[in-house]
Amino acid sequence: PSLSKLLIVFTVSGGGLVAYSEAEKSYDNSNAGELVEANKRKKKVVVLGTGWAGTSFLKNLKDPSYDVQVISPRNYFAFTPLLPSVTCGTVESRSVVEPIRNIIRKKHVDAYYWEAECIKIDPENKKVYCRSNLSINGNGKEEFAVDYDYLVIATGARVNTFNIPGVEENTFFLKEVEDAQKIRRTVIDCFEKASLPTLSDEERKRLLHFVIVGGGPTGVEFAAQLHDFVNEDIVRLYPKVKDSVKITLLEATDHILNMFDKRITAFAEEKFHRDGIDVKTGSMVVKVGEKEISTKDVKRGEITSMPYGMAVWSTGIGTRPVIMEFMKHIGQGNRRVLATDEWLRVEGQDNIYALGDCATINQRKVMEDIAAIFHKADKDNSGTLTVKEFQEVLNDICERYPQVELYLKNKKMSNLVDLLKESKGDGVKESVEVDIEEFKSALSQVDTDMKNLPATAQVASQQGVYLAKCFNRMEECEKNPEGPLRFRGEGRHRFHPFRYRHLGQFAPLGGEQTAAQLPGDWVSIGHSSQWLWYSVYASKQVSWRTRALVVSDWVRRFIFGRDSSQI
């Protein structure tokens, strides 16, 4: 007989032993005792979250000397860039998700998944407290605690409503697969309701007024998808109501797609104008009622209201409550997101790592690092560098912090001397020496985007890969501390700091046209970029299964159009 299931005992937050979970791997009875012993010796890695960061960490973790426990309320990975396509049925929801157990099953590392959310992190006792989503025997939701040696926090972010009244109750978010499914059902609902014979014209127009709040990539892509859906499918299916459809995109700043090159912004605004999508920039939502949405004109301060049938909220992200609690506990309560060092370790917590949307690399560290590079180049300790020396320093900074380079490119500046000139007027000439304090104040004045990495899947997944590589080499490095060490500033560290490599970004604009901003300031807009988008997104799928499903959905849509049934 074999010991087919290994019982793992958890202590529970209320004390005593309550929750038992069964690991799913089979072991031979003859060496079961040894295995249990070996497992006890294994370092316990607890991963919170099955999103981009958590999954990419898990996929790349290869060292079998860890005992990995993945905790997330979602038992699948979701390919978020395709969520806007799910809202209108261009792609089916099941095609963009991969069960986390499929990923775990293929690993040669002991890895287990628990469907639960972390409700508290206790760094002193190295424990996380969790609550299962599931109620067993109707006794309420199970709670349990899990010990860790290393904790990887990858819980992502939540939608930010900025506490604007009515947003939570009356708008739809586009963050999770369930959100996209809900939006899809509600869009169809609006068309079915609007087709009822008893409706007044006014009510029909209200129902078919779709408002999207937020002109970032997600809001813009949803608006484009909805417009395509209306033009390609709805016109055939609901011919009587098609003329009552209106799409409005509200953006508080002066332009949509602010983080993109200006050429892309201009093209998108012009295309939406041609398509009849009403882009209202400088328009800030102040209240969302059941049937009316109120906006404030940012420049004039006027408040106006418009009737709407469905509103989608896509304005930004905020910190999850469990992370906020943890931040308060470790003295980061005054911060917006969890601060880590460049090795993704939570500041002051040696065994806790944070990556993805829930964390950011601490700016103070970045500034200190930049100052250290500066002082190293300042051989005569004068506190100033010549422009030539300064250029060398810049190369080093841009190599270490690609976001600095990216920022300069976006601002159409060739280097930081331009930046100094911008912040100091004509005071800085290329021939004069550059002062460190001047330089630091110029850096601190610029937009925080320059220093903070964007909250994107690209960053999250690169961080996951990076951290997994560190974990794969951790034991070897501990055994051979004299190995290839990297010297940095006053200290030394076993691993390279995390470096983000920006691979470009897309903004699908509908009508089989996409804007692409690729490294090297290369901008391409149109149908060819759409094909590039198809190939990149097909290749980035997490498994061959989802790749096949997504590609077949695209083909199905080309041949048969989108499905408008309400299931």
What is the binding site for ligand FAD (CB under 6 A)?
48-54, 71-74, 80-81, 83-84, 117-118, 154-156, 174-175, 218, 320, 322, 356-358, 455-458, 460
Q: Minimal CB distance to ligand FAD: which residue?
A: 51
By beta-carbon proximity to ligand FAD, the closer residue of 384 and 514 is: 514
Q: Reduced to 3 states, what is the DSSP secondary structure of residue 372?
A: helix
To ligand FAD, the closest distance from the beta carbon of 262 in angstroms equals 20
To ligand FAD, the closest distance from the beta carbon of 79 in angstroms equals 9
To ligand FAD, the closest distance from the beta carbon of 357 in angstroms equals 4
To ligand FAD, the closest distance from the beta carbon of 104 in angstroms equals 14
To ligand FAD, the closest distance from the beta carbon of 326 in angstroms equals 10
Query: Residue 316 burial by CB count (10 A; 0-12/13-18/19+): exposed, middle or buried?
Result: middle
- Supply the angle between the helices 387-400 and 402-410 in degrees, to the nearest 10: 110
By beta-carbon proximity to ligand FAD, the closer residue of 158 and 296 is: 158
To ligand FAD, the closest distance from the beta carbon of 466 in angstroms equals 13
By beta-carbon proximity to ligand FAD, the closer residue of 358 and 385 is: 358
Structure-block tokens of residue 524 = 């391409």
- Supply the angle between the helices 387-400 and 363-377 in degrees, to the nearest 10: 140
Quick check: 477 and 484 in contact, CB under 8 A? no
Q: Who's near 213: CB < 8 A, 6+ residues apart?
A: 171, 219, 250, 285, 293, 311, 312, 313, 314, 315
- Whole-angstrom distance, CA of residue 217 vs CA of residue 205: 27
Q: Characterize the bridge pairing of strands 513-518 and 522-526.
A: antiparallel
Could you tell me which of 450, 526, 462, 446 has the C-alpha nearest to residue 497?
462
To ligand FAD, the closest distance from the beta carbon of 55 in angstroms equals 7
Place of tokens 């059902």: 185
Could you tell me which of 88, 441, 52 has the C-alpha nearest to residue 230?
88
By beta-carbon proximity to ligand FAD, the closer residue of 355 and 416 is: 355
By beta-carbon proximity to ligand FAD, the closer residue of 55 and 295 is: 55
By beta-carbon proximity to ligand FAD, the closer residue of 152 and 194 is: 152
To ligand FAD, the closest distance from the beta carbon of 460 in angstroms equals 3
Alpha-carbon dihedral of residues 504, 508, 511, 512, nearest 10 degrees?
A: 40
By beta-carbon proximity to ligand FAD, the closer residue of 148 and 439 is: 148
By beta-carbon proximity to ligand FAD, the closer residue of 442 and 460 is: 460
Place of tokens 């002109």: 215
- Whole-angstrom distance, CA of residue 354 vs CA of residue 361: 9
